[in-house]
Structure 1
Amino acid sequence: ENFFFTQLFAPSAPGSALYDRVERMFRVERHSLRIFWEGRPLAEADVLCDVCVIPDDDRLNLELEFDVTPEFLRMVNAGEQVLRSVEVPVHYGDDVPSRTFFVTMTKAFDRKPFLGGFRNKKSGSLYHHATTQTHVDREVKRDTTGKHSRVTQTLGVTRSAQTRRECGSQMSRTDVVVETTFDRIVVAKPYFSAADLLALQIQKAMKLQAFVRGWRARKKAAAMRAARDAEDDALREEDERRRQAHQQKRQEEIRRRTHPRSAKDFAVLYNELEAWRLQETQRIHESKGLTEAERRVALKELLKKETKLLQTIDRLQIHANQENKVARINKRLDKMSSAKTWGATRTVQVETPSTIRARELKDLYNGLLLNGLSIDERLDVLLHVKWTVKEFDCPLTRDIVELIDREADLLNRGRKDSTLAQLRGRTANLFLQFIDTPEFNPEALAHQTVPLEYKPRPHVQLSKW
């Protein structure tokens, strides 16, 4: 809690004396407190002068730790000096049992707070304003029942008043004619007593209560309807999510069987084919109306169907291997040509000469794989590839240049694109080897699966001049 207190002990005092003093001061159990000196726990059998280095000013700083800090110590602010704790019994009355509270006493400020005042310039004396803590009695409310009624306020006249306008009335007599043209007959209404006023207030209060209760009921009903609608929407969204997940799973299962890509997809096809073969074989053997010759014919037809299905799976596997190979090549080329990312929190994309070189080679490789180009466009791509690989002289680059010259000669002779497919495929494969060689593409060094010193590479050895 970061508070401190000061106690006086002899240098030869044992640790048990310290524990006893702290236990009496703070009313805690012996097993719930520990005393440390510079991180080392102080045992009860230890002597202060033996285990501690006492400074020259005889002030030794020890650390006190509680397993559970007492409630009355939690209110002590950090940095305050605790003097001691006392027990204060509080009596609530004869019928109520008394309770005992622990109060922590801290050292007050050495300097009293300044509350205002003035200084005498002649004598230099300070005169401070004073504060009081005088208990102020509450105002006693007097009984005013019957003092605000109509009878009380009109009983006797204590003060007269003279109006600014004179007025009067005249009764009819035999010798006086009173004009009654503009007279109005005023009839007093029924007397409205205090009981009637109280009944009216009760009636209006009941009406207001009805309005408030209706408003609360409508508010509660609206909240219940909103909760119901929210629950319905959540259930509807959950059903839609499950339906979409089921549909996606169904589409994925269909794709895995019609267009398999991974080894797991082909394992599913082989397992289903084996299950179908076993089921059909069992059905043929359990058929009672078939003769032995018919059963052999049925098994033969089943073998033909199985062979045909296996051939279909093999074709799909060959096609999937080709697609996976193209995908792996494109992924590797994208990683080589992507910009470097620097920074942990704020990332920055940095282009290096090696990434720019890898991107140029990737564009040339994609240009070699393009179909439907005109003769001039194809020759332009071949020329760029040729001048790129001629920067280096090795068996690989010489083979690429030879294949490019051969394709250019065949194009000039008017050969069709279908007859050049194998030649173009070989050129693309050799140029891919050129891209994967660190001597020609420095970025390829980070994507080598086998270290260069462990594999022979006679086709990329540069000629020494």
Structure 2
Amino acid sequence: MMVGSLQMHIHEDKTVELQSEAQQCPLDASTQMTGIGCYVSCMDDKLVAPGNYITADQYHEERLRAVVVLQTFARRWLALQEVQRLRRDRDRRLRREDFNLLYHALEKWRSEEEQQINSSLRGAERKAALCFLLETETQLIAAIGHHRIAVQNNNYDKVVRNLLDKSAAPHQWRAADGRLIEMDSEHTEHECQLTRDIVDLSDREADLMTRQVKVASLQGLRKRISTLFLQFIKTPAFNPEVAKHLKVPQNPSQLKNDMFQCRGCQRYLQSSDFSPTAGRV
């Protein structure tokens, strides 16, 4: 702007409000240096050199490799545990053929001992040795028999437990994304309805327990309840899910003319359960 012979400049300014506030760190750190009247020894001083700089991506990659190594050893340990469990189950699983081998081995041992006694002893010593051999054989046969009964009871309990687990297991299938989906239906949540006989036996057991009857006296009643309950669990009319796990009906007299055995699943089904296209090529 020109005013006469003078040139004037005009600027518009804005005032900015400033605020200053002092901050004090909660942790103070200091060091003592050598000065006049104060000597600090440098014998324990260390020379520290900076290392390589590690970025965040490198740090996370190192952590990921460590996690993979841990998972490898953990899975190896779990696999060893599973293999040892399967090996123990295989060793404990005794069948009829295994007991037959024991009986054959016992018979072979008895025959060899008897031949040795007959060839080396005479008179009263021979009779005494044969009596001792017979007594030993009897004890071994009794031990094998007790062990066989225990194995049969254990196998029976396992079979019943597996049947109950399978009949009460939820329905499972794979989704499109690979996830395992489980669904509980009314048949899997409630296996069967107890009949009046089972209810009466259960009430009788509760009544005897209130009278403080000895546990040994209740074993027969409880065995009867368990047997009757298992019988009704195996009945498809009360437990529809068990029909998929039974190859032969429990009561063959209930078979009707429209019941046939499926060659594919080896189960007895009604004619309406077969597909119209079954057996066609």
How would you bin the TM-score normalised by the shorter chain? 0.5 to 0.7
Larger CA Rg, structure 1 vs 2? 1
Contact 2:234/2:250 (<8 A) preserved: no
Decide which of 183, 188, 198 is 1:355's aligned counterpart: 188
Query: What pairs up with 1:39-438 in 2 under 5 angstroms?
Result: 261-287=94-120, 290-343=121-174, 346=178, 348-353=180-185, 354-358=187-191, 388-389=193-194, 397-438=195-236
C-alpha deviation, 1:351, in angstroms: 1.6
Residues 340 and 260 of structure 1, relative CA distance in 2, 3 Å threshold: closer
Q: Deviations over 1:269-310 (max 9, x none)?
A: 1122122112211211221xx223321221122111111111
CA–CA distance in structure 2, aligned partners of residues 342 and 315 of structure 1: 44
User: Would the alpha carbon gap of residues 455 and 447 (structure 1) be closer, same or farther in structure 2, given more than 3 Å must change?
Assistant: farther
Q: Which AA in structure 1 matches 2:233?
A: I
SS at match of 2:172: strand
Q: Distance in 2 between matches of 1:413 and 1:424?
A: 16
Amino acid in the other structure paired with 1:405: D
Q: C-alpha distance in 2, partners of 1:445/1:271? A: 40
Q: Contact 2:168–2:188 at 8 Å: present in 1 too?
A: yes
AA in 2 matched with 1:270: Y
1:291 and 1:310 map into 2 onto residues whose CA distance is 27
Tell me what 1:447 maps to: 245
- Secondary structure in 2 matching 1:280: helix
Instruction: With the length of structure 2 as denominator, give the TM-score of the two structures.
Output: 0.53
TM-fit CA distance, 1:260: 6.6
CA contact (8 A) 1:260 1:317 kept: no
- 2:175·2:181 contact (CA, 8 Å) conserved in 1? no
Q: Is the 8 A contact 1:261 1:324 kept in 2?
A: no
> What is the aligned-residue identity percentage?
40
Q: Structure 1 regions of 5+ residues with no counterpart?
A: 1-243, 362-387, 390-396, 458-465
8 Å Cα contact 1:336/1:444 also seen in 2: yes
**Offset from partner CA, 1:176-203 (integer Å, 9 cap, x none):** xxxxxxxxxxxxxxxxxxxxxxxxxxxx
Deviation at 1:265, TM superposition (A): 2.5
Give the 3-state SS of the residue equivalent to 1:341 in structure 2: strand
Contact 2:236 2:242 in 1 (8 A): yes
SS at match of 1:349: strand
| 1:406/1:453 CA distance change after superposition, 3 Å | closer
Q: Give per-residue Cα distances to partners, 1:218-263, cap 9 Å, x unaligned.
A: xxxxxxxxxxxxxxxxxxxxxxxxxx9xxx8xx97xx96xx67322
Q: CA deviation at 1:319?
A: 0.8
Partner-residue secondary structure (3-state), 2:116 = helix
Partners of 2:94 and 2:188 lie apart in 1 by: 31
CA RMSD of aligned residues (A): 2.8
Matched residue count: 168
- 1:347 Cα offset (Å): 5.4
Match of 2:76 in 1: none
- Aligned residues of 1:261 and 1:320 also touching (Cα < 8 A): yes
TM-score by length of 1: 0.33
1:226 corresponds in structure 2 to none
Give distance in 2, aligned partners of 1:329 and 1:312. Answer: 26
User: What letter corresponds to residue 291 of structure 1 in structure 2?
Assistant: R
What SS does the aligned partner of 1:437 have?
A: coil
Segments of 4+ moved more than 6 angstroms: none
Q: How far apart, in 2, do the equivalents of 1:313 and 1:322 lie?
A: 14
Aligned equivalents of 2:245, 2:157: Cα separation in 1: 16
Specify the SS of the correspondent of 1:342.
strand
Matched letter for residue 173 of structure 2: W
Paired amino acid for 1:275: K
8 A Cα contact 1:341 1:347, kept in partner: no
Query: What secondary structure does 1:293 align onto?
Result: helix
Please report how far the alpha carbon of residue 324 of structure 1 lies from its aligned counterpart in structure 2 after TM superposition: 0.3
Secondary structure of the corresponding residue to residue 248 of structure 2: coil
Q: Residue 108 of structure 2 aligns to a residue in which SS?
A: helix
